[in-house]
Amino acid sequence: MLSQNTIVVLVVFDLNNPESLKQVYVLLTEVQQTEHKYKYILVGNKSDLEKQYSNDDIEAFENAWDIEAYFEVSAKNNNNIQELLQQAAREVVKINQQNEKQQLNESLLLKPKSKGFCC
C-alpha cells in the first residue's frame, strides 16, 4: 500500500460519488494505525462533472484528518494537476529539509568534545 519512505500521500476521491469520501475515511483510519506519520493532500477528482459534496463536508474532512492541502482536479481535462504535483513536491522538500536539520542537530549533540590533547 505505502512504502516505508513515503512522505506525502495524495488522497484521491471522486467528487461525484458520495460513497467515495467514506471509503477514503476507512482507508485513512487503517493508515493511521501504522507507526508512520504522513502528510496528506486531499484530491477531489472529476471536477469537470457536477460535484456531490458541499464545501462544508470537505472542510470538515480536512479538519478531521489534518490535511495539508486540498485540490479539486480533473484528470480528464488536466485541470489543476500541475498545481497539485507542485504542492506535493514542495511538501516533500520541506519535510526533507526538516529531517536533515533534525539529523544535523542530533549529530551535533552526540559528538564528544575533544580534550585538546595533542598526540
Indicate which CATH number applies to the domain containing 42: 3.40.50.300
Residue 81 lies in a domain: yes
- Looking up cell 506519520 gives 37
Residue 21 lies in a domain: yes
- Looking up cell 520541506 gives 94
User: Does residue 94 have a pLDDT over 80?
Assistant: yes
Residue 114 lies in a domain: no
Report d(CA 41, CA 73) in Å as an integer: 12
More confident residue, 94 or 103: 94
User: Does residue 76 have a pLDDT over 90?
Assistant: yes
pLDDT tens digits, one per residue of 38-66: 889 999 999 999 999 999 999 999 999 88
Report the number of distinct structural domains present in the chain: 1
Q: How confident is the model at residue 75 (pLDDT cuts 50, 70, 90)?
A: very high
Residue 52 lies in a domain: yes
Q: How confident is the model at residue 115 (pLDDT cuts 50, 70, 90)?
A: low
Residue 15 lies in a domain: yes
Residue 119 lies in a domain: no
Query: Domain of 101?
Result: 8-107
Residue 16 lies in a domain: yes
- Looking up cell 506525502 gives 8
pLDDT of residue 50: 94
User: Does residue 36 have a pLDDT over 80?
Assistant: no
- For residue 39, the cross-strand partners are 8
More confident residue, 31 or 17: 17
More confident residue, 80 or 33: 80
pLDDT of residue 67: 92
Residue 113 lies in a domain: no
Q: How confident is the model at residue 69 (pLDDT cuts 50, 70, 90)?
A: very high
